[in-house]
Amino acid sequence: MTTGLIAKMRVEHGAPIRYTFELNDAIIMNELIGKTIRMEWSGRIVCCGCGKTTKTSFGQGFCYNCFTTSAHASPCIISPELCRAHLGEGRDIEWETTNHNQPHIVYLAASDAVKVGVTRAEQRFTRWIDQGASSAIILAETPNRFTAGTIEVALKSYMSDKTNWQRMLRNEINHDIDLVEEKGIVEDMLPFDLRDYISGDDTIYQFDYPVLQFPQKVKSVGFDKMPVVTGKLVGIKGQYLIFEDQTVINLRKHTSYEINFVVE
């Protein structure tokens, strides 16, 4: 048994993708597929910002105070077009400069449909995998988060910036999607000043998730209503664990929850 606070699983791009769940010990989750695991919530949530115990988790692991003041929970995390780092502004100027006033990419990711998204250039594989993309292509390369967010907003009327998590977990993939073709189509939709950022890299990146069995009907479970989650692990996709009984749990949603983890 190992104990610790939940953080999103660390991922390594490969065939298949390798997942590591870091509690007090590092757990190689790929090695547990096909085995029964048990996770028991202690009832504690410890803010990932200040380290204080909180009754409710806000914005994936924060107490309310940190959620409203921490740079790690800034509104531009969700809405990149609101970023002010390129102007030398933000909740924490040093953190914003290091993380947001840096090269970003706008990408197209495919699953059942095409979605548009933004991430820091060096974090692209992590971002794509966390969202459960089946494939992805770089649309644009920008000098900062704000510019990437502006491009994303310009395309939201044509495609979603959200992942349908249930379809993603059922592995409903539209194999007719041609990401290179989609890239050409959306390029023509951008204002001329934003087309200068279009990437010349047309590489299509593919993702192979460690899954033995995809659920046909997805039932999401969580620690707030079910303090003990247990079952035979049959797969991992995005930041979800998939169990044989077709239940799934989003570990990232439970960031900062303290659990005991047992392989039975």
Q: How do residues 28-65 score in pLDDT, each as one tens digit? A: 999 999 999 999 999 999 999 999 999 999 998 999 99
Of 206, 231, 250, which residue sits at a domain end?
206
Q: Is 49 a domain residue?
A: yes
Residue 101, CA distances (Å) to 86, 128, 144 in order:
5, 21, 5
Q: Is 127 in the same domain as 194? A: yes
Q: Is 125 a domain residue?
A: yes
Q: Which domain holds residue 251?
A: 2-68+211-263
Site of tokens 């115990």: 53
Q: Is 182 in the same domain as 245? A: no
Partners of 5 in beta bridges:
258
Long-range CB pairs of 59-64, under 8 A, 24+ apart, other chains included = 60/252, 60/253, 60/255, 60/256, 61/7, 61/255, 61/256, 62/256
Residue 247 structure tokens: 């239940």
Q: Is 121 in the same domain as 198? A: yes
Q: Is 96 a domain residue?
A: no
Residue 214, CA distances (Å) to 62, 168, 198 in order:
32, 10, 35
Residue-wise pLDDT tens digits, 212-227: 999 999 999 999 999 9
pLDDT value at 163 more than 90: no
Q: Is 60 a domain residue?
A: yes
The pLDDT confidence band at residue 6, using thresholds 50, 70 and 90, is: very high
Residue 241 structure tokens: 């664990």
Q: Is 37 helix (H, G, I), strand (E, B) or coil?
A: strand
Asked if residues 179 and 134 have their Cβ atoms less than 8 Å apart, the reply is: no
Q: Is 194 in the same domain as 219? A: no
Q: Is 90 a domain residue?
A: no
Of 160, 184, 206, which residue sits at a domain end?
206
Q: Is 153 a domain residue?
A: yes
Q: Is 17 in the same domain as 60? A: yes
Q: Is 169 a domain residue?
A: yes
pLDDT value at 90 more than 90: yes
d(CA 43, CA 104): 38
Number of domains observed in the structure of the chain: 2
Q: Is 241 helix (H, G, I), strand (E, B) or coil?
A: strand
In Å, how far from its chain's centre is CA 191?
A: 28
Of 190, 206, 222, which residue sits at a domain end?
206
Q: Is 134 a domain residue?
A: yes
d(CA 229, CA 223): 7
Q: Is 185 in the same domain as 222? A: no
d(CA 126, CA 219): 25
113 Cβ neighbours under 8 A, 6+ residues apart: 159, 160, 164, 174, 177
Average pLDDT score over residue span 76-102 = 95
